[in-house]
Amino acid sequence: MSNDRQKKLKELNRINQRKKIPSVSNEGFLTFILQSLKNKSRENKRVNIGKTTEDAKQRIEKLIGKRISNIDINKSGIIHAVNKKAHNIKPEDMLHAVGVINEADDTSLSDEKHQNNDVLVFKKDINGEITFLAEAHVLNDYLSVFNAWRKKAERSADATLTSPPGLTSETNLSQAVNNIAQNSHFVNEKKL
């Protein structure tokens, strides 16, 4: 097979792979987060959660030499970030991923690789510093968010009043009430 034909097939495969990745709204992303945390089956689904801005593309290009357009996340990245208590990440914090990547106060290239991919570190102050790590999949034109944490262990009461994009204070309140109702048989992390 000629080199040109191989290149064309590789490009077609890349384009077809992108078409199979569903794009979700903030509401769809929140649903994906909650379903990922509830159903921890082996299937590792992935969704597209947004696009990089021109500014973000330029910052990424300075670090890795290529521009990247898409921002994806998979189920294992959500589970890893949210379930580690030391990460101090709530499910709704994950909704900030696209905003932090596009408007980061600090963007850097990690010395470590993740699954043989360059790792970009994005930091922004949103009620305390929040950090997202993303693998750079240069050939397939996407970042894959795979980890997140908050620097500050404690948040003020005001932090719960500031909703991530797509959520309202009513949504946060109803989620909190629902969570309390579901876990009312626990006191100080001990079952009654």
What's residue 155's pLDDT?
A: 47
Q: Which residues pair with 137 in a beta bridge?
A: 142
What's residue 175's pLDDT?
A: 56
Looking up tokens 């379903």, which residue turns up?
35
Structure tokens at 177: 């009430």
Question: Count of CB atoms within 10 A of residue 13's CB?
Answer: 11
* Closest by CA position to 122, among listed 165, 49, 137, 130: 130
Amino acid letter for position 82 = V
Domain count, the chain: 1
Is 1 domain-assigned?
A: no
Is 75 domain-assigned?
A: yes
Is 125 domain-assigned?
A: yes
Q: Which structural domain range is residue 86 located in?
A: 7-191
Mapped onto helix, strand or coil, the DSSP state of residue 51 is strand
What's residue 37's pLDDT?
A: 93
pTM of the predicted model as reported, rounded to 2 decimal places: 0.71
Helix spans in the chain (H): 3-19, 26-38, 54-64, 75-83, 97-102, 169-182
pLDDT per residue as tens, the chain (192 positions): 567 767 666 665 555 566 688 889 999 999 999 999 998 777 889 999 999 999 999 999 999 999 999 999 999 999 999 999 999 999 999 999 999 999 999 999 999 998 889 999 999 999 999 999 999 999 899 999 999 999 864 544 444 444 455 444 444 545 544 544 444 344 434 343
| 89 within 8 A of 81, measured Cβ to Cβ | yes
| 93 within 8 A of 131, measured Cβ to Cβ | no
First-to-final CA distance of the chain: 68
Is 140 domain-assigned?
A: yes
What's residue 141's pLDDT?
A: 93
Q: How far is CA 109 from the centre of its chain?
A: 17
**To 10 degrees, what angle do helices 26-38 and 75-83 make?**
70
What's residue 106's pLDDT?
A: 97
| 134 within 8 A of 112, measured Cβ to Cβ | no
What's residue 71's pLDDT?
A: 96
Structure tokens at 150: 């908050």
Structure tokens at 137: 């999949």
Is 2 domain-assigned?
A: no
